[in-house]
């Protein structure tokens, strides 16, 4: 992960400024996700509802390129965010001929209080 942060110093600096970024806990991730054309990510659930996952569209092809969360379909768009609770069953597909690229950032669930976040950060520190 340190190498990735060195490769993208401006992005890393920006994300680390977000108070809501879960960077110091085991459930907090920030990474680039690439989904090749013609690919499907099978239905799965994240490990906890302590977080909300943010997908920022960096390179989104036109056409059938979407995700389904809890039975509701949503499409990515360039320079737009999709936010969802990944503890719900979700899947993704890219039925186009092009590659889909999104930046994924985990943030604290907005229903958590500052005190709860401080406690959880100590419990789940990396």
Q: Sorting pLDDT into bands at 50, 70 and 90, what band is 8?
A: confident
pLDDT at residue 4 greater than cutoff 70: no
**Cβ pair 78, 58 in contact under 8 A:** yes
What would the mean pLDDT of 108-122 be, rounded to a whole number?
93
Average pLDDT for residues 40-66, to the nearest whole number? 95
DSSP 35-67: E-TTEEEEEE--S-SSEEEEEEEEE--SSSEEE
Q: Tell me which residue of 94, 26, 24 sits closest to 57, measured CA to CA.
A: 94
Confidence of residue 24 (pLDDT cuts 50, 70, 90): confident
Full-model pTM: 0.87
Average pLDDT, whole number, for the chain? 90
């Amino acid at each position: 992960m340190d190498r990735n942060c060195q490769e993208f110093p401006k992005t890393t600096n920006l994300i680390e400024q977000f108070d809501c970024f879960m960077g110091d806990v085991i459930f907090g991730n920030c990474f680039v996700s690439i989904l090749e054309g013609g690919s499907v990510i099978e239905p799965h659930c994240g490990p906890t509802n302590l977080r909300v996952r943010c997908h920022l569209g960096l390179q989104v092809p036109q056409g059938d390129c979407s995700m389904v969360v809890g039975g509701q379909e949503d499409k990515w768009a360039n320079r737009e965010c999709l936010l969802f609770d990944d503890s719900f069953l979700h899947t993704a597909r890219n039925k186009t001929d092009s590659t889909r690229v999104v930046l994924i950032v985990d943030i604290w669930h907005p229903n958590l209080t500052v005190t709860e976040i401080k406690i959880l950060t100590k419990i789940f520190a990396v």
